[in-house]
Amino acid sequence: MAQSPFEYAPAPESREIARLRPSYQIFVAGKFRDGRGEAVKTINPADESPLAEIAEAGPADVSDAVTAARRAFKSWSRLPGRERGKYLFRIARAIQERSRELAVLESLDNGKPIRESRDVDIPLAAAHFFYYAGWADKLQYAGFGPAPRPIGVAGQIIPWNFPLLMAAWKIAPALACGNTVVLKPAETTPLTALVLAEIIAEADLPPGVVNVLAGGPAIGHAIVESEGIDKIAFTGSTEVGKIIQRSVAASGKRVTLELGGKAANIVFDDAPIDQAVEGIVNGIFFNQGQVCCAGSRLLVQESVADEVVAALQRRLATLRVGDPLDKNTDVGAINSAAQLARIRELADAGVDEGATRWSPPCDLPDRGYWFAPTVFTDVAPAHRIAREEIFGPVLSVLTFRTPDEAVEKANNTPYGLSAGVWTEKGSRILSLAGRLRAGVVWGNTFNRFDPASPFGGYKESGFGREGGRHGLAAYLESEGFLGD
Ligand code: NAD
């Protein structure tokens, strides 16, 4: 594509590494079997070719999985923490050993560049298991009282944007605390969760401790409604999060919700512009912008707005959009036709409402789901592209004059998941971090993750934290959190 000063020869990773099989099965009570739902094909969003057939779960599989998880809870929850930790360490190491295979499989099923699945998704998934393995025998020192107890069976429902990583975020803390799990990956990206089930089986976890049910919203709903479930952990859209919260109200089930976002990435006039531009690019074009905490609203101080936008446009002209398996690719495919339609609709609304649309010249492949990196300027806070989560490679640029105005505009959203601040002044970062209503505030960086650092939202971005010591709270009955 674009006018790069360098010509890159294609450097594709071989799809053989993914060890794709013609079909995949669900994992219930320690065994793989065909689900009693529909057999569906999962496709490669980069070219719409079928990858494999999945025998999805039906409602009867949900009750089998919940029964197996309840039975397994009795012994798993009584196992000494150090024994549970050994299993988690084993899973972490097996993810590392199979990391290349998992990375290629993730890129095939999701459309994300291999550079990201190889360097971010898979290493972070392993890191989460390592991190929570370390907590398993130290829970009494975690600040939840002297004898914190697990909750029971956790129903875990995850989205398609970071399939293996989201599975790790959910399963690792649940198991470390002594819970058992029924996990449902998203319908468009089931493959890596099902391979994780293989890893879990090979790690010799007792049957029923982890069950993985491929399926769509109806299976998610059946998990939420199941009487044998004690806790729901959901990551996905705010819309479905609200449905789930309504259906568990008065059921006594515990719930944590990790939902959507519309993060502000705030650039002050004293920020190092080139560095900030890298952060803006990483903030919104990482994973094609299909990131809940994406920096989708750029708030730039008026005095440097033209300079920042010009530098950003120059940088975007060097991004390589295309084959997710090519190691040179920066921006891959959109995950599904439905998601692509939503991105197109919102981008069109941006033009209709009067914003100015810009994309670098780029040749998109003929087949598959593709959307060029896009920047909107002349955006007003009332525009849909400034308010609604687009979940795609689309940046809306707004300006501000004073720090107070930046905070006001950043907080002017129903969401509250993340924010970024770019400035030379450390004191300004700290002051803004306290005033921004966002679960995570990055200073002079963006989209950085670490298993030791809690992640989660305010307002319509949900509640509960994943990661870090705080992430244990979601999976423990306790007399209350004693520290922070
Ligand atoms: P989605 O809400 O449509 O689906 C998420 C999951 O919920 C899928 O597994 C789906 O099958 C299931 N589901 C759908 N309807 C259900 C129902 N009625 N009951 C139970 N389960 C149901 O979201 P999506 O389109 O897959 O993912 C994109 C959304 O996820 C974005 O809004 C994004 O911001 C959010 N997200 C949030 C975080 C976070 O940590 N806050 C992380 C990643 C994605």
Cβ(417) to ligand 1 under 6 A?
A: yes
Q: How far is the CA of 259 from the centre of ligand 1 (A)?
A: 7
114: in domain: yes
Q: Which amino acid makes up residue 219? A: I
| Residue 261 Cα: closest atom of ligand 1 | 34
pLDDT at residue 4 greater than cutoff 90: no
* Cα angle, residue 264 at apex, residues 263 and 270 outer, rounded to 5°: 150
pLDDT at 398: 98
pLDDT at residue 165 greater than cutoff 60: yes
1: in domain: no
CB 222 within 8 A of CB 193: no
Q: How far is the CA of 260 from the centre of ligand 1 (A)?
A: 9
If pLDDT is split at 50, 70 and 90, which confidence band does 326 have? Answer: very high
| Residue 187 Cα: closest atom of ligand 1 | 11
Question: What interhelical angle do 99-110 and 163-176 show, nearest 10?
Answer: 130
| Residue 292 Cα: closest atom of ligand 1 | 34
pLDDT at residue 183 greater than cutoff 90: yes
Domain of 188: which CATH number?
Answer: 3.40.605.10
Give residue 377's Cα distance to chain centre.
Answer: 27
Cβ(190) to ligand 1 under 6 A?
A: no
Cβ(186) to ligand 1 under 6 A?
A: yes
pLDDT at 7: 78
- Which tens digits make up the pLDDT trace of 408-417? 999 999 999 9
Cβ(236) to ligand 1 under 6 A?
A: yes
Q: How far is the CA of 304 from the centre of ligand 1 (A)?
A: 37
| Phi and psi, residue 42, nearest 5° | -95, 140
Cβ(224) to ligand 1 under 6 A?
A: yes
8: in domain: no
Mean pLDDT over the full length of the chain: 96
Question: Cα(173)–Cα(154) distance, rounded to whole angstroms?
Answer: 11
Question: Cα(242)–Cα(255) distance, rounded to whole angstroms?
Answer: 11
The pairing of strands 153-157 and 149-150 is unpaired
* Residue 171 and residue 252 in one domain: yes
CB 210 within 8 A of CB 30: no
| Residue 240 Cα: closest atom of ligand 1 | 2
Q: In which residue are the tokens 């512009």 written? A: 273
pLDDT at residue 478 greater than cutoff 90: no
Contacts of 382 (CB under 8 A, 6+ apart): none
pLDDT at residue 3 greater than cutoff 90: no
* Residue 354 and residue 467 in one domain: no
* Residue 400 and residue 291 in one domain: yes
pLDDT at residue 482 greater than cutoff 50: no
Q: Which parts of 236-319 are beta strand (E)?
A: 254-258, 264-267, 297-301
* Residue 29 and residue 61 in one domain: yes
Q: Which of 303, 299, 261, 259 is nearest to 280 (CA)?
A: 299
* Residue 247 and residue 275 in one domain: no
Question: Cα(437)–Cα(458) distance, rounded to whole angstroms?
Answer: 7
Which ranges of 149-293 does DSSP label H, i.e. alpha helix? 163-176, 191-202, 217-225, 238-248, 273-285
Report which DSSP code applies to 464: -
Cβ(235) to ligand 1 under 6 A?
A: yes
CB 370 within 8 A of CB 333: yes
CB 240 within 8 A of CB 256: no
Q: How confident is the model over 102-111, as a mean pLDDT?
A: 98
9: in domain: no
CB 174 within 8 A of CB 136: no
Two tokens, residue 3: 């006018």
Catalytic residues: 258, 292
- Which tens digits make up the pLDDT trace of 234-282? 999 999 999 999 999 989 999 999 999 999 999 999 999 999 999 999 9
* Residue 40 and residue 185 in one domain: yes
Nearest CA to ligand 1 atom 30: 236
pLDDT at 73: 98
pLDDT at 484: 43
Q: How far is the CA of 479 from the centre of ligand 1 (A)?
A: 31
Nearest CA to ligand 1 atom 8: 186
Nearest CA to ligand 1 atom 31: 237
Nearest CA to ligand 1 atom 3: 237
pLDDT at 231: 98
CB 473 within 8 A of CB 467: no
* pTM score: 0.96
The sign one gets for the Cα dihedral 225, 226, 228, 229 is negative
Cβ(259) to ligand 1 under 6 A?
A: yes
* Residue 333 and residue 217 in one domain: no
Q: How far is the CA of 399 from the centre of ligand 1 (A)?
A: 31
Two tokens, residue 457: 């939202």
* Residue 231 and residue 377 in one domain: no
- Which tens digits make up the pLDDT trace of 367-408? 999 999 999 999 999 999 999 999 999 999 999 999 999 999
If pLDDT is split at 50, 70 and 90, which confidence band does 483 have? Answer: very low
- Which tens digits make up the pLDDT trace of 437-465? 999 999 999 999 999 999 999 999 999 99
Domain of 278: which CATH number?
Answer: 3.40.309.10
| Residue 461 Cα: closest atom of ligand 1 | 41
| Pocket probe mutation, ligand 1, options 156, 182, 237, max atoms within 8 Å of Cβ | 237
pLDDT at residue 479 greater than cutoff 70: no
| Pocket probe mutation, ligand 1, options 162, 292, 449, max atoms within 8 Å of Cβ | 292
* Residue 287 and residue 333 in one domain: yes
Lay out the sheet containing 180-184: strands in order across. Answer: 31-33, 26-28, 210-212, 180-184, 153-157, 231-235, 254-258, 462-463
* Residue 270 and residue 319 in one domain: yes
Cβ(292) to ligand 1 under 6 A?
A: yes
433: in domain: yes
pLDDT at 5: 63
* Residue 217 and residue 277 in one domain: no
Q: In which residue are the tokens 């709903």 written? A: 221
53: in domain: yes
370: in domain: yes
* Residue 279 and residue 158 in one domain: no
Q: Which amino acid makes up residue 404? A: D
pLDDT at residue 342 greater than cutoff 80: yes
In which element (H, E) is residue 95 found?
Answer: helix 81-97
Nearest CA to ligand 1 atom 26: 159
Cβ(160) to ligand 1 under 6 A?
A: yes
pLDDT at residue 2 greater than cutoff 70: no
Side-chain half-sphere of 109: how many Cα atoms within 13 Å? 33
Cβ(258) to ligand 1 under 6 A?
A: yes
How many structural domains does the chain have? 2
Domain of 350 in residue numbering reads as: 264-450
456: in domain: no
Cβ(206) to ligand 1 under 6 A?
A: no
Cβ(272) to ligand 1 under 6 A?
A: no
Q: How far is the CA of 89 from the centre of ligand 1 (A)?
A: 28
